[in-house]
Every structure is written in C-alpha cells, then in structure tokens.
Amino acid sequence: MRALEDLTRTLDRLLGAGDLAGWAVGVADADGASVRVGGTRSPGGAPMTPDTQVALSSCTKPIGGVLALRMVELGALTLDEPVAPWLPELAEPRVLVGPEADLTATVPAERPITLRHLLTMTPGFGWVSEPGPLADALAREQVAPGPFCPPMSPDDFMGRLGSLPLADQPGTAWRYHTSSDVLGVLLARATGTTVPELLTEHVLQPLGMADTGYTADAARLAPPLTPDGVGVGPVELPAGTYTEPPACASLATGLVSTVADQLAFLRSLVGGPTVLSPESLATMRTGTLTDEQRRTAAGFIAPDCDWGLDVEVRPGGQVGWAGGLGTIGYADPATGRAAFLATAVTVDSPATIAAFDSFWGLFD
C-alpha cells in the first residue's frame, strides 16, 4: 500500500531528526492487516515491536462510547432518560448565567442530564476555556480535563464535580472530555460492577483485545514522551499510572493498547466483528452538532467535521478520534478500512502533528 509506505518514510524522517523515539502504525480491512514499527520505545531503549503497548489517552473515548451503547442494548440504561437515579450529584444542577460568571450567579437547569448528553459532550460541563471562577474551581478540585484518570475515587470525583455549577444548559454547548469521565461512573453504578470488568466482558474479550487495559506490561510499554528542547523526554506521570489500577477508571483516558488491538476495535465500527447492532453503529456514526455546538467545539473539531456518540465524524464519513499523548485511530464505513498510528509523543510536538497529517493518506 503506497500510502503506508509514504507514512513510514515520514515517520522515519522524524525519527532520524530526533523528534520521535519510535513509532507504530497499522492498517486493516476485510482482507487482513499490516503493522509496521520503527525506532525504540524510549530514547535509547528497547526496540518498538508490533506488541508494544502505548498510552491511548483520548482514544479511550470511542471505546467508552461502544461500551455505553452496549449497555443500552442490554437494557441497563436508555439514551434519553435522566442519569440522576445513578448520579444524584447531578440531580438538580445549577447553571451559570455565563461561563465566566461568579459561581453564585446561577439559574436552574432547564432539562435533566441524560446519557445522550454525555455521549455528545453536551451535559453542560467539560473543557472551560473561558477564564473565570469556574475554570479556577475545576482546576482547584482536580476535575478539569487532563491526560490521566482522575486522582480520586469515583464518588469523590462526582462529589467535587457536582458541587460546581454547569457552564451551560444541558444539551446546548459542546464541551470536551469530562462527559467521558462521568460516563464511567454512570455505567459502573447502573450495573453494580466496575469499569474494567465491564470493558473486559462486553468489549475487550469479545473483540479479542487481550493487550488493552488500564495497566501495562512494563516490558512492552512505550511511555509517553514530550519535546524537551533537544529531542524527546519522558512525560511526568502521576504515581502508579499504567502500573496500578486507577482510583477512578475513566472512559475519557487511561487505557493502554497495541496497534493490533486498536485495529480490531476500529474495524468493529465499520464492518468487522462487532459487539453492537447495526442500528447502534449507525447512531454512533451520525453527526449531532448544532451551529452553537460547532462554535464551542472550535479548536477541537474542524468546521467541516462533526461529532457522533463519542466519535468524530469526518467529511468522508470516517469515524474515530485522536489522543493527546500521540495516538490517532479512524475507520471508514464505506470501505471497511481501519488505521491506527502511535508516535508516543504528545500533540504539542510538531512531529506528532506532521505524522497525524500524513496519517490521512491511508484513507485516500
């Protein structure tokens, strides 16, 4: 496949310049899969191999979306019922008169928060780019969006988040990330089990994703890297990250995986072996953004793209997402092709952005 060869040449060029330590990429369709790797898992470390595990960060979100829709199919939840019976912290939210307003300047929520709001990232909470008391409080309470699982129990997380007003009325603005943190708590409470157990039973085992989870094999992990002025160096990780089960298993971030596992997952969205019905897949892949939501999604979602249920929908119909620690994975319903790339370098690196730009050639 010429596009794969072109991408690997780009990755090797970035590797030779010292902007990457290593890389892994794969493409799969109904005829099979091809995986390529290069470089090392860390500067001067062991070689990248096809079974190297990488930190998915936000590529966790589509997996959480599939799990949520599977719970809907099994009758544990519905898309449009209020989440308050399982998340009483969100039962009577107050809404700021504006995202930058004082925390006491609130009005009642006009409608209850639902599972659909969480999957479309429109519950009224999430990334607050507007400076002000709410943004400060989210950071102070350690419930602002970030690349790692919340450093507290699920109950503590919900208590802190629920003590703060919403930035917007539910169902209006698109705000990134936190919906998927809350999604994990909702699914665990609604089913009386844990997020890792739910994922294993309903997604990972059925799809054969044996190398995906919240803890990594230390001998196979490519730890996240970031530009350090002379090349790339390690990202400072919270204690226990990827080595111990997280206190709050998020569906926004936190999983590690391999290229092969991600290809299996992405193929499950577009014609490969799947855990969802055709109806659920179609719903997941259908864009939902209103004009107002496009405005608040600026900087995350391009004007010609859309957002379905925990996946971006590209102009050509491809669905997937990218992660801030250097991963990107999409799949095309029209062709059944899936592709996944890991640079293991944060997206503030021009090298990772250049690699992501070249990634799209795999769908031409």
Degrees to nearest 5, angle at CA 334 with 329 and 340: 15
Query: Any idea which residue has 């030779």 for tokens?
Result: 16
* Beta strand extents in the chain (DSSP E only): 22-29, 32-39, 53-55, 94-96, 106-108, 221-222, 225-227, 232-234, 256-257, 306-307, 312-313, 319-323, 327-331, 338-342
How far apart are the C-alpha atoms of 363 and 361, rounded to whole Å?
Answer: 5
How far apart are the C-alpha atoms of 276 and 340, rounded to whole Å?
Answer: 21
Degrees to nearest 5, angle at CA 78 with 75 and 80: 170
Q: Is 57 left (phi over 0), alpha (psi -120 to 50) or beta?
A: left
Residue 289 tokens, joined: 């953004």
How far apart are the C-alpha atoms of 75 and 83, rounded to whole Å?
Answer: 14
Contact 172, 124 (CB under 8 A): yes
- In terms of Cβ atoms closer than 10 Å to its own Cβ (0-12, 13-18, 19+), residue 17 is exposed
pLDDT one digit per residue (tens) for the chain, 364 residues: 789 999 999 999 999 999 999 999 999 999 999 999 999 999 999 999 999 999 999 999 999 999 999 999 999 999 999 999 999 999 999 999 999 999 999 999 999 999 999 999 999 999 999 999 999 999 999 999 999 999 999 999 999 999 999 999 999 999 999 999 999 999 999 999 999 999 999 999 999 999 999 999 999 999 999 999 899 999 999 999 999 999 999 999 999 999 999 999 999 999 999 999 999 999 999 999 999 999 999 999 999 999 999 999 999 999 999 999 999 999 999 999 999 999 999 999 999 999 999 999 999 8
Contact 325, 147 (CB under 8 A): yes
35 φ, ψ to 5°?
-125, 135
- In terms of Cβ atoms closer than 10 Å to its own Cβ (0-12, 13-18, 19+), residue 85 is exposed
The reported pTM is 0.97
Query: How, if at all, do strands 221-222 and 53-55 pair?
Result: parallel
Query: How, if at all, do strands 106-108 and 232-234 pair?
Result: unpaired
Cβ contacts of residue 132 below 8 Å, gap of 6+? Answer: 99, 100, 101
How far apart are the C-alpha atoms of 197 and 71, rounded to whole Å?
Answer: 13
pLDDT at 298: 92
pLDDT at 267: 98
How far apart are the C-alpha atoms of 52 and 262, rounded to whole Å?
Answer: 12
pLDDT at 1: 74
Residue 31 tokens, joined: 């005829």
For residue 293, what are the CA distances in angstroms to 82, 208, 314, 317? 21, 36, 16, 19
pLDDT at 245: 97
- In terms of Cβ atoms closer than 10 Å to its own Cβ (0-12, 13-18, 19+), residue 236 is exposed
